[in-house]
Structure 1
């Protein structure tokens, strides 16, 4: 899908940042580097979530990119796919269903309104949590053996940017800078 192929990510060769950009661009660059004889491990990270992910680099560059999936429109199925509406199961108690059924527009409209209100009310908390979680995922994958790792994590969860910066200062530059970029939203 387009969203997957355009996902922003960063590849590291050991502790060096190799490339960042769309997953298509990153996959092509990593494949070229692997084919040229790279010896350090290649790790790929989602720039939004900090999650490490893997791609299959076997075969030709075209085969590698082909496995990323076609550039396609939104998935077809129930709901209103052109709007991005996706049908999923929700489990509620009977009193919840009763209340939702009494709302103007029905259960779906009421649930969407409730979710939108909650998103607006918690936007700052959500930004901090997502930033903290993204940085934490990256730190665990790349910084676990680095000096100051535990203290950097404590600073991250305490919301202390100065301490986080101090604890990551001696880290390899690319690891340090990417960790700080991911953590920025947490502070």
Structure 2
């Protein structure tokens, strides 16, 4: 399982874990070495996280996005009348557009349209779960490799091997890359095996 966030300074992985922990380590390194170039990645998607390192460690931590540092909170009690849906259960009303034949079919289903649509979605998610996990793992590995290894030898061939599901060739092509970059790329590429 990949950590929530990962920080690299050049070719070296310097921290992994929750965002405050990773940013604290990165900021401490930046305070010691002003020339350090640090990139922080979302550990699951490989999206780069923009961090404002100005000020003290505490000031930097206060500016972190709340969604990345705190568990989800209960939404505040609504003072206005509630609309359709069941917000306390996480059910949110949104609009979908269907053809008349779809509405006719949904109207005939036990439990009504909402129940039928939820069942169809759950069934589709189960059926495509492995494919979705593989695609997300490949996308995360691709993003990370493009940022950290786009100029490395065999980069393009490694990307081809990644998307061709050729794990042996992928590992062979990146074997000479810096260890932390290589190991993280492999971890991301194989993260579809988790769960």
Coarse TM-score class (shorter-chain normalised): 0.7 to 0.9
**Secondary structure of 2:53's partner?**
coil
Query: Root-mean-square deviation (CA), in Å?
Result: 2.3
Of structures 1 and 2, the larger Rg is shown by 2
Match of 2:53 in 1: 57
Structure 1 residues 132 and 186: CA distance shift in structure 2, 3 A? farther
Asked if structure 1 preserves the Cα contact closer than 8 Å seen for 2:29 and 2:36, the reply is: no
Residue 62 of structure 1, CA deviation: 2.2
**Runs of 4+, deviation exceeding 6 Å:** none
CA distance in 1, matches of 2:94, 2:60: 32
Which TM-score applies when normalising by structure 2?
A: 0.81
Matched, 1:9 2:15: no
Match of 1:27 in 2: 23
**Secondary structure of 2:33's partner?**
coil
Asked if structure 2 preserves the Cα contact closer than 8 Å seen for 1:134 and 1:183, the reply is: yes
Match of 2:169 in 1: 163
Matched, 1:73 2:73: yes
Match of 1:18 in 2: 14
Match of 2:42 in 1: 46
Structure 1 residues 93 and 33: CA distance shift in structure 2, 3 A? farther
Matched, 1:36 2:35: no
Residue 81 of structure 1, CA deviation: 4.2
Which TM-score applies when normalising by structure 1?
A: 0.84
Task: Provide structure 2 residue ranges, at least 5 long, that are not aligned to the other structure.
Answer: none
Task: Provide structure 1 residue ranges, at least 5 long, that are not aligned to the other structure.
Answer: 1-6
Q: How many residues align?
A: 181
CA distance in 1, matches of 2:88, 2:19: 24
